[in-house]
Amino acid sequence: MAEATAPKPSSSVKLVLLGEAAVGKSSLVLRFVNNDFQENKEPTIGAAFLTQKCNLPTRTIKFEIWDTAGQERFASLAPMYYRNAQSALVVYDLTKPTSLIKARHWVAELQRQASPGIVIALVGNKLDLTNDPSTSSNALGEDGDGEAADGEDADGDARKVSTAEAKSYAEEEGLLFFETSAKLGTNVTEVFTAIANAIPETSLKGARGPGATSGSTGRTEDQSRVNLTGPRDNASKEGCAC
Amino acid sequence: MGTSPDFSSASTHFHDRVYAADDTTPTVQATSKNGTSDSMTGNRGKDASKRAGDTRPATSSSAGTTGDHDEEEEQRPPLPPRPSLLQADLPSAPSASTMRPALQAKPTTAISSVDIQTLSFPDGTRGTFSTPASRTVSEAVSISAISGGQSTPSRKGRNGSDIDDATSLMSYAPTLRANGDLASLLDEGLSSQSPAWKLLSTQAETVNPFEKVDYEDLSLVDFDHEFDEIEAVDQKGGNEEELLLQWKSKLKHYLILSSAGKPIYSRHGDQNLINGYIGIIQTIISFFQGSKDPLMGFTAGKTRFVVSTDGPLYFVAISRIGESDAQLRSQLEALYMQILSTLTLPTLTHLFTNRPNTDLRRPLEGTETLLSSLADTFTKGSPSALLSALECLKIRKSQRHVINNTLLKARTEKLLYGLIVAGGRLVSVVRPKRHSLHPSDLQLIFNMLFEAGSVKAGGGENWIPVCLPGFNNRGYLYMYVSFLSAFDDGGDLDERPSTAHSTSREDEIAILLISADKESFFELKQMRDDLVKQLEKNGSMEIIKTAVRQGRPSATDIVPGTQLKHFLYKSRANVQFTMPSFSPHFSNLLARRRLMTLYHNLHASTHAKHSHLKVLHCVSRDSISLAWTTPVFEFYCVAGPNASRAGLAQGANKVIQWVKREEERVFIIGGAVF
């Protein structure tokens, strides 16, 4: 996808992936960058830095991707990676409700501390473990991997987070929203393309310039909605500290 | 001096013995001594050869395995000096004193007798040679002086030395060069052996160590399944019994728990499976802890438990593969270092001071793979871990010099350590004058990068906070890592190694740049780009890739025609080691484990407290081996069971000479310092 880009303007976009451990951040990146997938991938240590070009009709975006480790102990390093980032991918595992709570924490932290214009995409991964019609219906089965298949389930649908729930949250917060499968490649490129499209032209001047711009995409909708997620956030905090 | 390998005596086949001479140079005197003894016993030698000629028809068909009992009353043919263990059965031994002048070494004084579990053949009748080892060997030496032409009326009980002679001489049998050798094949000693031994004895020296599967040796029988995962206990616990069986069949376990009894890590089995055992272990350890007499280890059956306590953590190693306590302890220490490397000491202490019943699994989340790969490295057997030393990529001194200078030139301000590692072997290091790199730290790094695969698998470049406990256990350093494959020639420098055909650790080239500044990623990335560009330009990258692709030389590449099948040479001053390739003889997991077990035994014997060993010979049914330590080096080598000890010692010397000659190629001496 990176060929023949000569005439088009090219710019770098810094992107950071955040989310709970084992939701599939590295797998999403691996699918996007190498179009590859590894079962039972070992946890990322620290962070990995990768680049990949994304061709849009009018320009080429070169993503500089920080794929961070999801474990608690690396959380304090996160600001180093999302500082100056123009975009963020906050990933949760749609078979694991707590991972969405963690994702909400990340979104809140980004909105509080990252560059004001940051484009955030909320991504529910492991769509292959559900029996949504959108994925090839036999996608699950084979080696439904450890933590995901956990404790579930007769008909093979391990989904625990409904699309509606996550989507309405994403709309509230003005986030891009996708459900993906890194394993099958479902929606993966779409996420990155959508981010590339959502990056305002004005923030694309310098390769690593902070995305200081006016109101960013979709941010304005539904600001007034009541945040129903507060209590659950607290609950999750207790859960984390155990 | 220098004859000890020849003199170290034969072992019985049913009970492995290791003995050692307090001798520093195992130079090979076999030929000259043979000459001497032959000349002294010239007549007998001729007799023997005549007889051997007579009996040849019989032996040629049966290859000497059907010893004729008549032969045992005959005179012995001339033999190279061989010791015998069983002086009690050798009334003529005292007369050996007259032959003493022929010896070049004094009778040995230091001795150690080691029962090698995995190589032992417990046989009720033969396994009882528990005579004090020192007596045995000093006798053995005197006997060896006369063994050349000794005609012993009573052969009973001499099978130990006879067999050994026969096996080492066997190597010449096919050539029919020495008639006397054939006669010796018919010796009663042979015929009295087990069928398995006879079978083995018919082989020439081409028998490789551990080639025969030893059915009596059950200790490694399940080794192929050692690394199989045990699945999780299902919700109803229905499969628990079966899983427990699997769990118990593992030869090696590592358990880490907090002093409060919380499980932290277990190599095998999930929490539900092991919780009960964790409780028991915690109770046992705490009991001794309470009485101010900490438990160090205990044995149950053939299983050794070693306990090590580090602050709030208990470490337990459970082994059935016959490692020494010290070795197990150093493995546990490495696991502790891995935990420190993840958390740092202050954090660890803080966690447990605040809450003694902290569950450490959460802070350590994601590092189970590092602990497990470390544990599996030990279980598979790692020369690097055994010797606490590093292996370097062998390249020319001038080439290394160029690489060092390139590293120094590319160095940026924030750099603390810079390393180029290829195929798990060190190519070059750049470091500040005041700091050297601790081998245990490098072990952790290498484990993370090359064994655990978490870093490599992701592709791209990595920025990893890591505490190097040997350097400073109080804080993190930040490590920039990028991999290049030795097999993608030229090409775009920005190209990351494709994960699709993920290459093995043997052909990965890693560039590690370590800084104390967590913000220095892009600076180090720039340095890496410059460095790689320079290395490509001055041809060093190609040299590294070529060296990696070549792999390690085999033992016969190093010493042509040697009987040595494998060796380890550790340079003490450089804390580095070198070895030949594991293939072809030890490429599979089990063969390699048996080799490593042998090395572990040799290492344990030479490093036992109060042993002061210099040279140690070990003869067993499936291999012969030699350990040799001096202030300069430690050396371990192994050859097939039928190889002659002279050949072994000769090979050892050749290797030592080779290392001396190649020292600046196989080791990094000094490195690049700024």
Domains of chain A: 10-131+159-204 (3.40.50.300)
pLDDT of residue B76: 53
CB spacing of A34 vs B498 below 8 angstroms:
yes
Q: What are phi and psi of B578, to 5 degrees?
A: -135, 150
**DSSP output for B259-279:** TTS-EEEESSS-HHHHHHHHH
Answer whether residue B333 shows pLDDT above 50.
yes
pLDDT of residue B293: 86
pLDDT of residue A52: 93
Q: Give tens-digit pLDDT for A81-90.
A: 999 999 999 9
Domains with residue ranges and CATH for chain B: 8-103 (no CATH), 223-380 (3.30.450.70), 387-551 (3.30.450.30), 555-672 (3.30.450)
pLDDT of residue B270: 82
pLDDT of residue A208: 42
Q: Which residue of B has its CA nearest to A71?
A: B365
The enclosing H or E element of B461 equals: strand B461-466
Q: Give tens-digit pLDDT for B473-503.
A: 999 999 999 998 777 654 443 444 444 344 4
pLDDT of residue B5: 41
Answer whether residue B151 shows pLDDT above 60.
no
Answer whether residue B393 shows pLDDT above 90.
yes
Q: Give tens-digit pLDDT for B435-447.
A: 888 889 999 999 9
Answer whether residue A190 shows pLDDT above 90.
yes
Confidence band for A158, pLDDT divided at 50, 70 and 90 = confident
Q: What are phi and psi of A133, to 5 degrees?
A: -65, -20
pLDDT of residue B350: 94
Helices (H), B212-265: 240-249
Residues of B within 8 A of A46 (CB-CB) are: 462-466, 478-479
A19: which strand partners?
A91
Answer whether residue B61 shows pLDDT above 50.
no
pLDDT of residue B231: 74
B492: which residues sit within 8 A by CB, 6+ positions away? none
Confidence band for B12, pLDDT divided at 50, 70 and 90 = very low
* Percent with pLDDT over 90 in chain B: 41
CB spacing of B459 vs A71 below 8 angstroms:
no
Q: Supply the DSSP symbol for A76.
A: G
The token duo for B155 is 């052969």
CB of B2 closer than 8 Å to CB of B23: yes
Q: Across residues A190-219, what is the average pLDDT?
A: 64
Tell me the nearest-neighbour CA distance from A229 into chain B, angstroms.
Answer: 25
How many angstroms separate the CA atoms of B47 and B53, rounded? 10
Lowest-pLDDT choice from A23-37, A201-215, A224-238, B351-365: A224-238
How many angstroms separate the CA atoms of B369 and B337, rounded? 15
Q: Which of A44, A21, A73 lies closest to B364, judged by CA?
A: A73
| Pairing assessment for the beta strands B390-391 and B303-310 based on DSSP bridges | unpaired
Q: Give tens-digit pLDDT for A27-64.
A: 999 999 999 998 888 889 999 999 999 999 888 999 99
B393: which strand partners?
none
Confidence band for B37, pLDDT divided at 50, 70 and 90 = very low
Complete edge-to-edge strand list for the sheet that includes strand B672-673: A176-179, A119-125, A87-93, A10-19, A60-68, A47-55, B461-466, B477-485, B508-515, B415-422, B425-431, B672-673
B26 compared with A132, residue with greater pLDDT: A132
* Percent with pLDDT over 90 in chain A: 57
How many angstroms separate the CA atoms of B74 and B186, rounded? 10
CB of B672 closer than 8 Å to CB of B407: yes
How many angstroms separate the CA atoms of B579 and A106, rounded? 50
Answer whether residue B131 shows pLDDT above 50.
no
pLDDT of residue A178: 95
Answer whether residue B472 shows pLDDT above 50.
yes
Q: Is B461 on the interface with A (CB under 8 A)?
A: yes
Q: How far is CA B441 from CA A11, B33, B385, B408, in A?
A: 40, 49, 12, 22
Answer whether residue B649 shows pLDDT above 80.
yes
CB spacing of A74 vs B461 below 8 angstroms:
no
pLDDT of residue B193: 54
Please report where in the chains the tokens 């996708």 appear, as a residue.
A178
In the chain, the amino acid numbered A234 is N
Q: Is B271 on the interface with A (CB under 8 A)?
A: no
Question: Does residue A130 sit in helix, strand or coil?
Answer: coil
How many angstroms separate the CA atoms of B206 and B545, rounded? 33
Q: Give tens-digit pLDDT for A89-144.
A: 999 999 999 999 999 999 999 999 999 999 999 999 999 998 765 544 444 444 43
Q: Give tens-digit pLDDT for B450-471.
A: 887 777 765 689 999 999 999 9
CB of B84 closer than 8 Å to CB of B161: yes
Tell me the nearest-neighbour CA distance from B513 into chain A, angstroms.
Answer: 14
A93: which strand partners?
A125
Residue B470 exposure: Cα atoms within 13 Å on the Cβ side: 15
Answer whether residue B115 shows pLDDT above 60.
no
pLDDT of residue B622: 85
B160 compared with A50, residue with greater pLDDT: A50
Answer whether residue B366 shows pLDDT above 80.
yes
pLDDT of residue B502: 44
Q: Which residue of B has its CA nearest to A51?
A: B460
Of the candidates A41, A69, A146, the beta carbon closest to that of B457 is on A41
Question: Does residue B415 sit in helix, strand or coil?
Answer: strand
Q: Is B517 on the interface with A (CB under 8 A)?
A: no
Q: Is A43 on the interface with B (CB under 8 A)?
A: yes
pLDDT of residue B490: 45
pLDDT of residue B506: 67
Confidence band for B213, pLDDT divided at 50, 70 and 90 = low
How many angstroms separate the CA atoms of B259 and B282, rounded? 7
Answer whether residue B287 shows pLDDT above 70.
yes
pLDDT of residue A153: 47
Residues of B within 8 A of A42 (CB-CB) are: 369, 452-454, 457
| Pairing assessment for the beta strands B17-21 and A176-179 based on DSSP bridges | unpaired
CB spacing of A71 vs B463 below 8 angstroms:
no
Q: What are phi and psi of B470, to 5 degrees?
A: -70, -30
Of the candidates B362, B478, B500, the beta carbon closest to that of A36 is on B500
CA dihedral of residues B474, B480, B486, B490 (deg, nearest 10): -160
- Highest mean pLDDT of the ranges B241-250, B520-529, B587-596: B520-529
What sign does the dihedral A80-A83-A87-A88 (CA atoms) show? positive
Answer whether residue B626 shows pLDDT above 70.
yes
Q: Across residues A157-180, what is the average pLDDT?
A: 94
pLDDT of residue A42: 86
How many angstroms separate the CA atoms of B287 and B295, rounded? 9
Helices (H), B8-88: 30-40, 42-62
Residues of A within 8 A of B351 (CB-CB) are: none
The enclosing H or E element of B173 equals: none
How many angstroms separate the CA atoms of B419 and B509, rounded? 10
Lowest-pLDDT choice from A17-21, A216-220, B196-200, B222-226: A216-220
Question: Does residue A125 sit in helix, strand or coil?
Answer: strand
Lowest-pLDDT choice from A112-116, B123-127, B361-365, B654-658: B123-127
Q: How far is CA B152 from CA B99, B129, B162, B634, in A?
A: 15, 21, 11, 39
CB spacing of B499 vs A21 below 8 angstroms:
no
Q: What count of other Cβ atoms lies within 10 Å of the Cβ of residue B221?
A: 14
pLDDT of residue B404: 94
Q: Across residues B404-427, what is the average pLDDT?
A: 92
Question: Does residue B586 sit in helix, strand or coil?
Answer: coil
Answer whether residue B83 shows pLDDT above 50.
no
How many angstroms separate the CA atoms of B618 and B602, rounded? 8
Please report where in the chains the tokens 């210099």 appear, as a residue.
B614
* Percent with pLDDT over 70 in chain B: 63
Answer whether residue B142 shows pLDDT above 80.
no
Residues of A within 8 A of B342 (CB-CB) are: 73
A13: which residues sit within 8 A by CB, 6+ positions away? A61, A62, A63, A64, A86, A87, A195, A196, A199, A204
**DSSP output for B512-562:** EEEES-TT-HHHHHHHHHHHHHHHHHTTHHHHHHHHHHH-PPPHHHHSTT-
How many angstroms separate the CA atoms of B253 and B331, rounded? 11
How many angstroms separate the CA atoms of B100 and B106, rounded? 9
pLDDT of residue B232: 72
Answer whether residue A229 shows pLDDT above 50.
no
> In this predicted complex, what is the ipTM?
0.77
Answer whether residue B263 shows pLDDT above 90.
yes
Answer whether residue B73 shows pLDDT above 80.
no
B117 compared with B346, residue with greater pLDDT: B346
Answer whether residue B202 shows pLDDT above 60.
no
Confidence band for B182, pLDDT divided at 50, 70 and 90 = very low
